[in-house]
Each structure stands twice: as structure tokens, then as C-alpha cells.
């Protein structure tokens, strides 16, 4: 099933509902700062579960107190698609404080 890339305007419209997320180098990106390394590690596990449910995987980086994501769709030539926005929304829902910065 082909996934269509979003236009620049569609991306901007969707980012308006995703505080803290931005478009960088053609990817939706977000870094979360958490209270501890343990909390950051736990978030990585939860993000991985969501990625498996959606069968859509991002670049995911664990830092000492941070978790960073970079999301795009390989099957759409590396463009941002509705699948990326859905993953971002799901991650926001599970983030401590719904979008801890």
C-alpha cells in the first residue's frame, strides 16, 4: 500500500497540533527531557511498543535524561507522511506530562 507524502502546508498544519515537534532535514523531530536516565529508558521501551503496534519505526536516540526521535517514511522516499504524524501523536500521548520538554 503506497503512502503519500504530505505537502509542506499539510506538515505545518499538523505540527501546529504537536507542540515541541519540528521539521528538520525532512523529518519530524522531537527531544524529550526526562527526570532521570531510568525514566528516559522506560520511555524508549514505550515508544518501541507503539512503533511495533503501528509497524512504523523512527530513529530513536537515548541520552542520559533525553529521548530524541526523528520520523519519516522510507517507503515514501523518506518524506513525511500521515504515518509519521500518527506516530508523533501517539508518542506525545505517552510522554510524561504529555509533552515534557
What's the pLDDT tens digit per position in 42-88? 999 999 999 999 999 999 999 999 999 999 999 999 999 999 999 99
Per-residue pLDDT reduced to its tens digit, 16-38: 999 999 999 999 999 999 999 99
Q: How confident is the model at residue 4 (pLDDT cuts 50, 70, 90)?
A: very high
Indicate the average pLDDT of the chain.
93
Q: What is the 3-state secondary structure (H, E, C) of 34-95?
A: CCCHHHHHHHHHHHHHHHHHHCCCCEEEECCCEEEEEECEHHHCCECEHHHHHHHHHHHHHC
Full set of structural domains in the chain with CATH: 8-94 (3.30.1360.20)
Amino acid at each position: 500500500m503506497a503512502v503519500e507524502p504530505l505537502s509542506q502546508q499539510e506538515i505545518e498544519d499538523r505540527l501546529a497540533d504537536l507542540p515541541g515537534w519540528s521539521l528538520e532535514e525532512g523529518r519530524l523531530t522531537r527531544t524529550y527531557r526526562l527526570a532521570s536516565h531510568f525514566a528516559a529508558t522506560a520511555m524508549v521501551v514505550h515508544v518501541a511498543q507503539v512503533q511495533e503496534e503501528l509497524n512504523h519505526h523512527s530513529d530513536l536516540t537515548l541520552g542520559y535524561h533525553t529521548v530524541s526521535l526523528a520520523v519519516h517514511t522510507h517507503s515514501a522516499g523518506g518524506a513525511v507522511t500521515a504515518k509519521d504524524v500518527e506516530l508523533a501523536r501517539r508518542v506525545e500521548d505517552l510522554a510524561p506530562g504529555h509533552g515534557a520538554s
